[in-house]
């Protein structure tokens, strides 16, 4: 860090400013986490310099001996942790991992059946603003209006009617476990490829607190930076029969040179995720999310689907008469970071939204437990209702974070 301070004090200030921001607030954005100093060390390493197009042992550049070892170790760890035949750690992001699956299995114009974005699906599941909606023909399934759970009968009916080339299971704001066996059955019935986009839940699977999609899916994509707590990036796991197609689809079809420093950092995160301390963390992530959802229900918000089985909860704010956008802004003013989120069948536009989404990974990494979640829920309730002077809330947040800081000084990389 000394080199950065002397070469570029402006950017050094930004880095320190961000550290202060993390330490001074509550990070409840469900897709974020606080990655470890060991992961940061691999990210800020000489491996960033290396061009290594291709795969270990088959590169288009010389001098890849060291990075080959990193990628082989990382892929072996991913295979072992998730029980997968094959792992590709090269995707630069979750979006790139999904793009590779389209490239491997679909032709432009093919029908893809995925979850409605307004019910929790991701942009890469067919949004018109994304390549997936521009180049492919999306058909969307959604949630049952009563239970707010995936309507598997609707998935089956749509699959029978539209004969999709690929079915995507997985979501960005669905708080419940997904029945992967049901999706497998439907995919088999119509001869579709089953892609499970496990971006959000892969870290729960690693920690053995959520069922694995690997035995059911043809291919599983994930991000490495959410619950899994690694560097920003993506990965693909697949059956042996698809390994070659996936590798070619990642590179050269959709990416050039892999980021070897990020791949090494993914390897570090996968090692950390195989430890008992990680399983304890994952268990606490789920317990904390449930405690948060319960606490927010006591504050008058309605947990979508009645609660959560995962690291995230979606709360309907209509009982309080507050929009998601206002709630997000009021919480941010108090140093509490969470996001507005549509609720199922939301009459409000997405830029306003009737709900919020929040998750427990970051605060769990900081060492917080259920009593902290109950206190956080009370603070969110006060912020959302605008019931307290924001300065008082900022102080209360500071007291909580001081007790369990993000990146305690002893840990600073």
Q: Which residues are documented as binding site for (6S)-5,6,7,8-tetrahydrofolate?
A: 117, 121-123, 241
Task: Report in angstroms how near the CB of residue 123 gets to ligand PLP at its nearest.
Answer: 7
Smallest CA-to-CA distance from 258 within 47, 70, 51 is with 51
Instruction: Return the ∠ at Cα 134 (arms to 220 and 340), rounded to 5°.
Output: 70
Q: Is the dihedral of CA 31, 36, 37, 42 positive or negative?
A: negative
296 vs 304: CA distance, rounded Å:
11
Distances (CA, A) of 241 to 86, 247, 249: 9, 12, 14
Task: Report in angstroms how near the CB of residue 158 gets to ligand PLP at its nearest.
Answer: 19
Comparing CB distances to ligand PLP, the nearer of 265 and 400 is: 265
Comparing CB distances to ligand PLP, the nearer of 259 and 397 is: 259
Task: Report in angstroms how near the CB of residue 353 gets to ligand PLP at its nearest.
Answer: 16
Comparing CB distances to ligand PLP, the nearer of 171 and 343 is: 171
Comparing CB distances to ligand PLP, the nearer of 94 and 295 is: 94
Task: Report in angstroms how near the CB of residue 160 gets to ligand PLP at its nearest.
Answer: 25
Closest residue to ligand PLP in the complex (CB): 94
Q: Active-site positions?
A: 51, 53, 197, 223, 226, 232
Task: Report in angstroms how near the CB of residue 173 gets to ligand PLP at its nearest.
Answer: 8
Task: Report in angstroms how near the CB of residue 208 gets to ligand PLP at its nearest.
Answer: 21
Beta bridge partners of 166: 112, 193
Comparing CB distances to ligand PLP, the nearer of 343 and 383 is: 343
Binding residues: 117, 121-123, 241
Contact residues for ligand PLP (CB under 6 A)?
31, 93-95, 98, 122, 124, 170-172, 197, 199-200, 223, 234
Comparing CB distances to ligand PLP, the nearer of 171 and 260 is: 171
């Amino acid at each position: 860090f000394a080199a950065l301070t002397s070469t570029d004090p402006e950017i050094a200030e930004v880095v320190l400013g961000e550290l202060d921001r993390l330490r001074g607030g509550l990070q409840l954005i469900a897709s974020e986490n606080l990655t470890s100093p060991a992961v940061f060390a691999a990210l800020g390493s000489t491996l960033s310099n290396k061009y290594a197009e291709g795969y270990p042992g088959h590169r288009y550049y010389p001098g890849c001996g060291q990075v080959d070892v990193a990628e082989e170790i990382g892929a072996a760890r991913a295979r072992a942790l998730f029980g997968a035949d094959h792992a590709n750690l090269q995707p630069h992001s979750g979006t790139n991992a999904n793009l590779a699956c389209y490239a491997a299995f679909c032709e432009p114009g093919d029908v893809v059946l995925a979850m409605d974005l307004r019910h929790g699906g991701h942009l890469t599941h067919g949004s018109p603003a994304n390549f997936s909606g521009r180049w492919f023909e999306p058909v969307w399934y959604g949630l049952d209006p009563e239970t707010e759970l995936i309507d598997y009968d609707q998935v089956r009916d749509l699959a029978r009617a539209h004969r999709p080339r690929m079915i995507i299971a997985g979501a960005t704001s669905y708080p419940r476990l997904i029945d992967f066996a049901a999706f497998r059955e439907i995919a088999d019935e119509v001869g579709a490829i089953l892609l499970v986009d496990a971006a959000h839940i892969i870290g729960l699977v690693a920690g053995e607190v959520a069922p694995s999609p690997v035995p059911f899916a043809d291919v599983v994509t994930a991000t490495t930076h959410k619950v899994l707590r690694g560097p920003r990036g993506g990965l693909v796991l697949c059956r042996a029969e698809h390994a070659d197609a996936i590798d070619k689809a990642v590179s050269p079809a959709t990416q050039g040179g892999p980021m070897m420093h990020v791949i090494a950092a993914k390897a570090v995160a996968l090692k950390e995720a195989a430890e008992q301390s990680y399983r304890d963390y994952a268990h606490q992530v789920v317990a904390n999310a449930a405690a948060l959802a319960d606490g927010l229900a006591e504050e008058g918000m309605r947990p979508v689907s009645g609660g959560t089985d995962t690291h995230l909860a979606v709360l309907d704010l209509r009982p309080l008469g507050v929009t998601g956008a206002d709630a997000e802004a009021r919480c941010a003013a108090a140093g509490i970071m969470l996001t507005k989120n549509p609720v199922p069948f939301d009459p409000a536009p997405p830029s306003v939204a009737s709900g919020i989404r929040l998750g427990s990974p970051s605060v769990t990494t900081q060492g917080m437990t259920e009593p902290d979640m109950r206190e956080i829920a009370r603070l969110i309730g006060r912020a959302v209702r605008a019931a307290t002077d924001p300065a008082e809330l900022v102080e209360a947040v500071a007291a909580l974070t001081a007790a369990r800081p993000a990146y305690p000084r002893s840990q600073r990389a």
